Chains A and B, each alone.
Chain A
């Protein structure tokens, strides 16, 4: 398949993601004055229709902050920060805000932008790229609106490379998932970049 990655390409991408994930976690840990537990990230190809269902699927109480990114050499995608509502209720505590200081929406966007931009800036630096970002947007959990949003991202996609990273804040029993969607058109470009890195090893 033109969009699948071989073992070496997958390993290289995973290592680039590990480094970016580590630095994003460090930023989050410093910001929250706590420790963030890291798991090995998961990378797989997903179909648009299946992904939309899996994101909204059984759990109707999900909040998602979505932010598009794009750089040189065709690198682009969407970063989705997925929170369970039971966790998003803790966010004011985590950020040290008074209950009425910021809306729930602003709090989620705050914490998401730390994770997304730190992660993607470190990722971009490793591949000698520079990324720009769209404004983050909070999505509701209703199936129809989420599906509709995913159908109308800034890129069209049937298949995407999905990178799933879990950030677990130990002191607060708080989890959030960062999901990167890299559409098929950009997978080809990512593979070119990865091949360049592998050849230089």
Chain B
């Protein structure tokens, strides 16, 4: 069965870059969110297997999303953070909050594929 994917980023261009990088088997069920609040709303109403999450966003940022999911023990989907905030402290923080991996922006296809393979989605 195909995995359901949520892409959360306030940038339309960044969302397109992720969509373009997805392998065909992960591109049939893709939901988009433009900030953390929208992402949490999607997660409440739909089963999501994989979330690609930006950090620096209005309304609710990516760290806020991760913290919310951890606090409420909602850790069903695999979260891959894709962010421009590449400080080591931030990378450690998101991994501690439950993200599977940290990917630098702009996302590179081969890096994304490697992470998906590593976590059993391909």
Contact = CB atoms under 8 A, between A and B. Distances in A.
B86 A23 contact: yes
Contacts, number: 58
Given A12-B13, A201-B13, A19 B89 contact: no
B106 A22 contact: no
A197 B11 CA distance: 14
Q: What's the interface size class on B, roughly?
A: 20 to 34
Interface string B6-25: 00001111101100100000
28 contacts: A7-B12, A8-B12, A8-B13, A11-B11, A11-B13, A12-B13, A15-B11, A15-B105, A18-B84, A19-B105, A20-B84, A21-B84, A22-B56, A22-B105, A23-B86, A25-B85, A25-B87, A26-B86, A29-B87, A35-B87, A35-B89, A35-B90, A36-B87, A38-B85, A40-B10, A40-B56, A198-B13, A201-B16
A20 B105 CA distance: 10
Q: Is the interface of A mostly helix, strand, loop or mixed?
A: helix
Chain A: interface residue count, which band? Answer: 20 to 34
Interface in B76-99: 83-90
Most buried by A among B10, B13, B56, B90: B13
A25 B86 CA distance: 8
B86 A201 contact: no
